[in-house]
Structure 1
């Protein structure tokens, strides 16, 4: 069964909000065997919306619309679709009662336009809105199934999973769901990873292999069709094992999680602590770590020692290392070592990580943009320094530096 998502809202076209609804709907549809072939975004314009709906109906078995169900005059989705299929809009009394009661309970006068949220197409099935006011709609016209959902994600998601999907299942025949597995990689770029798997990618049929990248991380998505998770795992097994044989040293997870999630969990399981000293990353490494719930069990804290004065005052880097004729400088392996080792002394942590480098856009100390030193100090072990020469803009260099630090910590933890 082929489907198309039509997201309605001029705010989407203007970039004022991000269309996260399409991502959610695509993922949920894949899980039940419905293939999303197209995603369309159209503004609050009657003629363009009508054209988009006609095009979608001509090439899809299912058209899923989000947005345009509210009370204002630019909420056009139901009106345009009603005109397209030649049906009247009628009042859904349970929704109208819920809207009336909500306004009464809050002591607010209800304006007439709010009745629009209780309208549905004649002959359609209502989709209950548990967290908002606008009723959803599902119906079939000339062989195409239409599903109308509200735009706010907090309303759309429960409506889709609890009501739209069960309705859609009644319209399905022999669709086999997609089963996907994510392999997450760090410490390797997308092009290098693809190069090492290119023969598998060229020969793929079932399962399929799809690489894609974020800053500092690469994901491989393995996909097949299967009636159960057990069948899916069995069909993916041989391909996954071959990928692991080639690139296992870079695989940190078999689910779609960032590397900081895995690192925090490993630290907690091993009852180990971590502290960081950041210069060029400006607190980004600490932010990634503390974004994970439970990080307080192992992360002691971080020092943003951006200036040479603070590197010297807080973590004891000698000024003759930082400045002066022939000095290694703030961006150096010597500084990275002292910063990392000083963390162990000052915080009592099991691991100390330092990051110092040139994020750009200009050079620093005569050193090139993208040169980064990461220091790794560990109790009862020799301190290591990782040297990176990164490309990209300032934000990219900062992010990739932080992710690289996490990758090397993950390797240390995996071996411990």
Structure 2
């Protein structure tokens, strides 16, 4: 089965929001053996949506639309598809009842336009919206399958996983399921990883090798189609072992989790605690750690000591180390070490991590943009410090410094 994803929304074309739905759907469809051949973005314009639907019908079997199911006049997706297929729109009573109950519970009147969210194509199957109001649709017409999903990711993702995906699978000819293994890497870039595995990537057939990369992270998904999990494991294991023999020092997990999640899980399993002291990263490392559910099991907290005064008062760094003739300065190996050691001591954490450097846009203390020191310390011991020279803009430097600090902490925990 070949698929096309059509994202509806002028805000996507204007760059006001990022189309993360397409990425999520493409991965979910690949997992059930559906190839996404095209991705289209179209504005809230009836004629252009109609044109996109007709073009998609000419080249794929499955069309998934996201967005345009809301209550306003520019939410046109259902109306346009109904016109294209020659169907009427009818009320899905359970969705309307849910909507009325919600508004009554809030004690506010439900305006008539909200009823648009309960409309569905007359010959379609409704897709329940467990986290919102707009009902989804699934319909087959003249051999082409159509799925309508809401635009907000918090509504789209559960609707696809719980209802649309099983509906699609029911329309597919019997195929063996896909089995995948995700290998997550830290401390190595995408180009270096590809160089180390280029012969495997070029020779791949079954299993397939798919690299994924985003800022500060690299992963490889190994995938095969098999009749059983045991059969799949027999195919995936030799390839995994070959990759581990080449790059094992960089692999932190064989599942799709972030490095910060892996570190927190490791610390929690050992009954250990972590605290951080941040300067140029401005709290980004703390935010990454606290974004992991259950992080409080291992993360004590962080101190954002942006100024020298804060470093002195909160982290007990001597002012003569931070300022004055001959002082190492705030951006130095000495200060990174003291920050890591002191935050562990002050909070009672087992490990302390520090970040201090120059994020830009200008130099600081006469030191270049992108110079960062990362300190890693066990409580009561001297810290090890890593000097980094990061590139990119201010936000990129902050992100890379935070990711690098996690990598070096992971190396310590692994050792």
Normalising to structure 1: TM-score of the pair? 0.90
Residue 199 (structure 1) shift = 1.7
Residue 384 (structure 1) shift = 1.4
Which consecutive residues of structure 1, in runs of 5 or more, have no partner in the other structure? none
Partner residue in 1 for 2:28: 28
Residue 385 (structure 1) shift = 1.4
Distance of 2:270 and 2:206 partners within structure 1: 39
Contact persistence 2:339–2:375 (CA under 8 A): yes
Partner residue in 2 for 1:191: 191
SS of the equivalent of 2:241 reads: helix
1:345-375 alpha-carbon deviations (Å, 9 max, x no partner): 4333322222221112222222221111122
Partner residue in 2 for 1:171: 171
SS of the equivalent of 2:238 reads: helix
Distance of 1:384 and 1:319 partners within structure 2: 22
Partner residue in 2 for 1:5: 5
Distance of 2:352 and 2:104 partners within structure 1: 59
Residue 134 (structure 1) shift = 3.7
Contact persistence 2:275–2:343 (CA under 8 A): yes
1:208-232 alpha-carbon deviations (Å, 9 max, x no partner): 2222322222112222223444333
Partner residue in 2 for 1:364: 364
Partner residue in 1 for 2:257: 257
SS of the equivalent of 1:59 reads: coil
- What pairs with 1:253-332 in structure 2 (closer than 5 Å)? 253-332=253-332
Instruction: Go from structure 1 to structure 2 and tell me whether the alpha carbon gap of 1:12 and 1:309 turns closer, same or farther (over 3 Å shift).
Output: same
Distance of 2:295 and 2:157 partners within structure 1: 29
The alignment status of 1:73 with 2:69, answered yes or no, reads no
Residue 174 (structure 1) shift = 2.7
Contact persistence 2:184–2:218 (CA under 8 A): yes
Contact persistence 1:34–1:175 (CA under 8 A): no
- What pairs with 1:41-120 in structure 2 (closer than 5 Å)? 41-92=41-92, 95=95, 111-120=111-120
Contact persistence 1:132–1:155 (CA under 8 A): yes
State which drifts further: 92-101 or 299-308: 92-101
1:300-350 alpha-carbon deviations (Å, 9 max, x no partner): 332222222333343343333323333322222122222223334433332
State which drifts further: 69-78 or 59-68: 69-78
Distance of 1:116 and 1:342 partners within structure 2: 59
SS of the equivalent of 2:355 reads: strand
Partner residue in 2 for 1:397: 397
The alignment status of 1:338 with 2:338, answered yes or no, reads yes
State which drifts further: 338-347 or 29-38: 338-347
Which consecutive residues of structure 2, in runs of 5 or more, have no partner in the other structure? none
Instruction: Go from structure 1 to structure 2 and tell me whether the alpha carbon gap of 1:105 and 1:322 turns closer, same or farther (over 3 Å shift).
Output: closer
Distance of 2:296 and 2:102 partners within structure 1: 41
Instruction: Go from structure 1 to structure 2 and tell me whether the alpha carbon gap of 1:106 and 1:344 turns closer, same or farther (over 3 Å shift).
Output: closer
Larger Rg: 1
Distance of 1:349 and 1:293 partners within structure 2: 19
The alignment status of 1:351 with 2:351, answered yes or no, reads yes
Partner residue in 2 for 1:386: 386
SS of the equivalent of 1:302 reads: strand
Distance of 2:154 and 2:117 partners within structure 1: 16
State which drifts further: 205-214 or 244-253: 205-214
Distance of 2:26 and 2:344 partners within structure 1: 47
Normalising to structure 2: TM-score of the pair? 0.90
SS of the equivalent of 2:337 reads: helix
Distance of 1:253 and 1:324 partners within structure 2: 45
The alignment status of 1:37 with 2:30, answered yes or no, reads no
Contact persistence 2:337–2:382 (CA under 8 A): no
Residue 90 (structure 1) shift = 4.1
Aligned length: 415
Residue 57 (structure 1) shift = 0.7
- CA RMSD, aligned part only? 2.6
Residue 2 (structure 1) shift = 0.7
1:3-26 alpha-carbon deviations (Å, 9 max, x no partner): 111122223223333333323332
Residue 50 (structure 1) shift = 0.8
Residue 51 (structure 1) shift = 0.7
Instruction: Go from structure 1 to structure 2 and tell me whether the alpha carbon gap of 1:96 and 1:375 turns closer, same or farther (over 3 Å shift).
Output: closer
1:232-269 alpha-carbon deviations (Å, 9 max, x no partner): 33322111111111111111112222211111111111
SS of the equivalent of 1:3 reads: strand
